[in-house]
Amino acid sequence: MYSCNPKQAWQKRAIENEERALMDGAKKGKVDTSLVNGLLKDYETFADNYPTDTTGANYLFKAADFYRYMHKPLRSIELYSKIYDHYPTVTKRPYSLFLQGFIYENEVGNPHAAKNLYEKFLEVYPEHPIAKDVRTTLSNLGKTPEQLIQEFQEKAQQDSLMLADK
């Protein structure tokens, strides 16, 4: 069983206080960018200082989400990659791999990198609950919305013909 040392426990409490302050401000419609930046730094520092504490993975996941919302997709990908590479037992690991592909596809505009990551996801997690969605995403990668609509309409027409034949 792993337990926190006093400094580590103090850092967790400090992060919880920062999160609470940020949420309180957000509820009032105020976002303190210095608080956000400090929290991001504290998330990453905690993960660096305590690499065997899986709380660090959760903090990195939160930080990666923040960077996505701040339109810093490459930084987000770096953190999701760090989770995948350094925390093999956390439940968010598969999602960190998927999200790298998702961000490459939808925010960076690199379908080749996305394809590689989606394929890796399916290789490593073929039975994961989101594997079916990843397969669908992979099969639709690079298609325009018009192509997707046309395929959907064709499938619906085929399905209705099959029902009519029964």
| Residue ranges per structural domain of the chain | 6-165
Going residue by residue through the chain, which has 166 residues, state the pLDDT in tens, using 9 for 90 and above. 355 688 999 999 999 999 999 999 989 998 889 999 999 999 999 999 999 999 999 999 999 999 999 999 999 999 999 999 999 999 999 999 999 999 999 999 999 999 999 999 999 999 999 999 999 999 999 888 888 888 888 887 877 777 777 6
| Cβ count within 10 A of residue 17 | 11
pLDDT confidence of residue 166: 66
Q: How far apart are the first and last CA of the chain?
A: 61
Dihedral sign (CA 80, 66, 133, 138): negative
pLDDT confidence of residue 45: 97
User: Which amino acid would we find at residue 27?
Assistant: K
Token pair listed for 164: 């009519």
Token pair listed for 36: 């956000």
The CATH superfamily of 6-165 is: Tetratricopeptide repeat domain (1.25.40.10)
Residues 117/101, Cβ–Cβ less than 8 Å: yes
Entry pTM: 0.86
Residues 56/44, Cβ–Cβ less than 8 Å: no
User: Which amino acid would we find at residue 80?
Assistant: Y
pLDDT confidence of residue 1: 39
Angle at 125 between CA 121 and CA 129, to 5 degrees: 105
